[in-house]
């Protein structure tokens, strides 16, 4: 069942704002950071040096308190009375999201979606490097697809380890998704972005995010019919 948790007044941390206490950050906050990151890049391109939470809020369509709270989980990035330096803030977010490093990515499934993603410019710009493409179709294996040679999915374990792939984008049929996810999880993949319309059961150390365009269309359809807009 559930371990009962005793709630008592929390022990006050001295006054040293040295480290920043560990807090559980919600998925929504992370997603918003990712949006802020894009907006900051645009502001920087326009030579904007500083931005206040109020200004950023208007651009993002959220409240300024939301923005300040989001940042507060990770540190004190602003200056009171001044706002945030766009460059600094961008760098802070990059570190938080892990965009300041190089991620080796493999795409599994050389179909429509898989090949569309291979040269998606935004990936490389943010540190995600597509190094491999896999398929099970003999007609595709060995062929060159946008500068990458399609590899045989049968050798995926050794190849993933050889090139130290940490992230896999799965764009394969639902029926084989679970099996493939198990194989690549054993091979050491740490995260999966799954386009197959199928919930994956993977070991704890693997993070999965589900992507499903058809579901997005269906949600859109609902809100068209029920003009209850203004939700995320």
Partner DNA sequence: ATGTGTGAATCGCTTCACAGCT
Partner DNA sequence: AGCTGTGAAGCGATTCACACAT
15 binds, among DNA, its own copies, none (CB under 5 to 8 A by kind): DNA
Q: Return the residues of window 106-125 that contact its own copies according to CB under 8 A.
A: 112-113, 115-117, 119-120, 122-123
Cβ nearer to DNA, comparing 33 with 110: 33
Phi, psi of 108 (to 5 degrees): -110, 115
Which residue from 34, 39, 66, 104 is in contact with DNA, where contact means CB under 7 A? 66
What H or E segment, with its residue span, contains residue 108?
Answer: strand 103-108
C-beta of 63 vs 154, nearer to its own copies: 63
Place of tokens 């386009």: 195
For residue 80, list its beta bridge partners.
none
Q: Which of 86, 103, 107, 185 binds its own copies (CB under 8 A)?
A: 103
Contact by Cβ (8 Å): 211, 194:
yes
165: β partners: none
Q: Phi/psi zone of residue 200: left (φ > 0), alpha (ψ -120 to 50 degrees), beta?
A: beta
* DSSP secondary structure code for residue 147 in this structure: T
DSSP-derived secondary structure for 41-103: HHHHHTT--EE-HHHHHHHHTS-HHHHHHHHHTT---SBTTTBEEHHHHHHHHHHHHT-SS-E
Q: Is 137 in the site for its own copies (CB under 8 A)?
A: no
199 binds its own copies (CB under 8 A): yes
Which residues ranging from 84 to 103 are in contact with DNA (CB under 7 A)? 84
* Strands 191-194, 84-85: pairing kind: unpaired
Question: In this complex, which beta carbon is closest to DNA, that of residue 139 or of residue 231?
Answer: 231
CB of 71 to its own copies, least distance (A): 14
Tell me: does residue 219 bind DNA (CB under 7 A).
no
Which parts of this chain interact with DNA (CB under 7 A)? 2, 9-10, 15, 17, 24, 26-29, 52-54, 62-66, 68-69, 71-72, 76-84
Which parts of this chain interact with its own copies (CB under 8 A)? 24-27, 30-31, 33-35, 37-38, 59-61, 96-99, 103, 105, 112-113, 115-117, 119-120, 122-123, 126-128, 166-167, 169, 190-193, 197, 199, 204-205, 207, 209, 211, 213-229, 231-232
């Amino acid at each position: 069942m559930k371990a009962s948790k005793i709630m008592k007044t929390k022990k006050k941390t001295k006054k040293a704002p040295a480290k920043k206490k560990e807090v559980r950050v919600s998925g929504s906050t992370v997603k918003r950071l990712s949006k802020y990151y894009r907006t900051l890049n645009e502001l920087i391109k326009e030579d904007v040096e500083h931005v206040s939470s109020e200004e950023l809020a208007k651009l993002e369509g959220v409240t300024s308190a939301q923005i300040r709270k989001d940042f507060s989980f990770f540190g004190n990035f602003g200056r009171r009375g001044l706002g945030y330096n766009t460059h600094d803030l961008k760098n802070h977010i990059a570190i938080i999201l892990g965009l300041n490093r190089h991620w080796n990515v493999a795409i599994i499934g050389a179909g429509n979606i898989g090949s569309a993603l291979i040269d998606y410019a935004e990936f490389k710009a943010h540190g995600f490097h597509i190094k491999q493409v896999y398929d099970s179709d003999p007609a595709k294996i060995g062929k060159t697809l946008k500068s990458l040679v399609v590899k045989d999915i049968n050798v995926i374990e050794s190849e993933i380890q050889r090139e130290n792939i940490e992230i896999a984008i799965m764009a394969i049929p639902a029926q084989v998704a679970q099996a493939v996810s198990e194989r690549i999880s054993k091979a050491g993949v740490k995260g999966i972005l799954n386009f197959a319309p199928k919930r994956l059961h993977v070991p704890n150390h693997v993070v999965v995010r589900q992507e499903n365009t058809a579901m997005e269309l269906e949600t859109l359809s609902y809100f068209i019919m029920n003009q209850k807009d203004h939700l995320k």
